[in-house]
Amino acid sequence: MKVVNAVYPPPEQAMAFFSAEEDGPFVMVNLLKFKPKAEYEDGSNPHLTGAEAYALYGEGVRQLVEALGGRIRYSGQVTSLMIGEVEDLWDAVALAEYPSLAAFRAMAMSEDMGKIDHHRKAGLAGQLNIRTKAGAGFE
pLDDT at residue 137 tops 80: no
Give domain status of residue 90, yes or no.
yes
pLDDT at residue 58 tops 80: yes
Cβ(94)–Cβ(65) below 8 Å: no
Domain total in the chain: 1
What pLDDT, on a 0 to 100 scale, did the predictor assign at position 134?
87
What pLDDT, on a 0 to 100 scale, did the predictor assign at position 40?
97
Average pLDDT for 26-48: 97
Summarised one tens digit per residue, pLDDT across range 81-109 is 999 988 899 999 999 999 999 999 999 99
Average pLDDT for 32-48: 96
* Residue 97 belongs to domain with CATH number: 3.30.70.100
Give domain status of residue 8, yes or no.
no
Residue 118 lies in domain = 22-132
Give domain status of residue 113, yes or no.
yes
Give domain status of residue 125, yes or no.
yes
pLDDT at residue 138 tops 80: no
